[in-house]
């Protein structure tokens, strides 16, 4: 199938496990997911099958939203409550106003140091593989942006927030940084991802639902790039562009576009520079008309 599945990933299952399940259920080898979700976390995991896998990069570019709980007083090696405690500190008393003030400090562009327990590769090895061997390597802080940090609930030793953020944001690290700003340490005790780009939890399907009715659960590949402007071309232009020929289209502004054929077929992604279109990702090759 050339489709995208908005999967409701259950906890205690890795993102790789989800791919394995759907590879068997859909009987396809060409399949991948957009944005790894921690094994203990649940929520939205977009899975791309067939030619839709060419659009995977667009899934991870989009806005992400989470509901996360952080428990204060103990920090773990993994950043969540599945790890070993490596530090404990007393939890100072704080008011709602103080907590809101701390949250406000973490809204906006910032640099974040990726955790050792992550899927980032350094010299061909994933960081979590090195971490399990007791090896810690130097990492470079990466630019991220937190768009929203909404306080949902708090107690003397924990708080729950709704987070909207850019790609590359580690919620576990955000929680550790928030705990430090409160004068203590902490770890993530719950994580639910509610949105990845165009895919939201209210329209997600369980693995069992997808296996039972894949056609009914499938989303069109176009949903991954629906935020991009559309550019419709005629048959001759479609044939040229999808077969790798740079094609002039007068009056087209520079930028990236969804390329549509004369019957609104989704052909792929193109980039325009100085009114010339160049294919970036082609999903369908269009035949040159005979006339």
Per-residue pLDDT reduced to its tens digit, 85-112: 999 999 999 999 999 999 999 999 999 9
Q: H or E element: which one contains 153? A: strand 142-154
pLDDT in tens, 119-144: 666 666 666 666 676 666 667 889 99
Residues of the chain falling short of pLDDT 50? none
**153 φ/ψ sector (left φ>0, alpha ψ -120 to 50, else beta):** beta
Residue 104 CA to residue 279 CA, distance in Å, equals: 42
The predicted pLDDT at position 38 comes to 86
Does residue 38 have an active-site annotation? Answer: yes
The predicted pLDDT at position 35 comes to 82
Residue 84 three-state SS:
coil
pLDDT in tens, 197-213: 999 999 999 999 999 99
The predicted pLDDT at position 59 comes to 77
Q: Of these residues, 2, 38, 80, 177, which one is catalytic?
A: 38
Would you say 185 and 92 are in contact if contact means Cβ atoms under 8 Å apart? no
Full-model pTM: 0.88
pLDDT in tens, 221-235: 999 998 899 999 999
Query: What is the overall mean pLDDT for the chain?
Result: 92
Beta bridge partners of 72: 186
**Residues near 278 by beta carbon (within 8 Å), at least 6 away in sequence:** 246, 270, 271, 272
Would you say 259 and 209 are in contact if contact means Cβ atoms under 8 Å apart? no
The predicted pLDDT at position 123 comes to 64
The predicted pLDDT at position 36 comes to 85
Residue entry with tokens 């003397």: 156
């Amino acid at each position: 199938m050339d489709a995208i599945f908005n999967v409701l990933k259950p906890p205690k299952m890795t993102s790789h496990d989800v791919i394995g399940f759907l590879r068997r259920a859909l009987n396809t080898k060409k399949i991948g997911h957009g944005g790894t979700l921690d094994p203990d976390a649940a929520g939205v995991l977009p899975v791309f099958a067939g030619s839709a896998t060419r659009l995977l990069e667009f899934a991870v570019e989009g806005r992400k939203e989470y509901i996360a709980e952080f428990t204060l007083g103990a920090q773990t090696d993994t950043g969540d409550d599945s790890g070993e405690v490596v530090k404990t500190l007393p939890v100072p008393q704080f008011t709602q106003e103080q907590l809101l003030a701390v949250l406000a400090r973490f809204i906006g562009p910032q640099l974040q140091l990726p955790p050792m327990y992550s899927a980032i590769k350094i010299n061909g090895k994933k960081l979590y593989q090195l971490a399990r061997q007791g090896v810690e390597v130097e990492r470079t802080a990466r630019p991220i942006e937190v768009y929203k940090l909404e306080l949902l609930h708090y107690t003397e030793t924990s708080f729950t927030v709704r987070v909207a953020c850019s790609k590359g944001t580690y919620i576990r690290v955000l929680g550790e940084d928030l705990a430090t700003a409160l004068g203590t340490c902490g770890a993530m005790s719950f994580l639910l991802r509610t949105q990845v780009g165009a895919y939201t939890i209210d329209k997600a399907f369980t693995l069992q639902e997808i296996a039972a009715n894949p056609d009914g659960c499938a989303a069109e590949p176009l949903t991954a790039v629906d935020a991009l402007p559309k550019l419709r071309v005629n048959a001759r232009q479609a044939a040229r562009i999808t077969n790798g020929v740079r094609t002039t289209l007068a009056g087209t502004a520079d930028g990236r576009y969804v390329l549509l054929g004369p019957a609104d077929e989704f052909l792929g992604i193109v980039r325009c520079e100085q009114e010339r279109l160049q294919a970036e990702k082609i999903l369908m090759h269009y035949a040159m008309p005979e006339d």
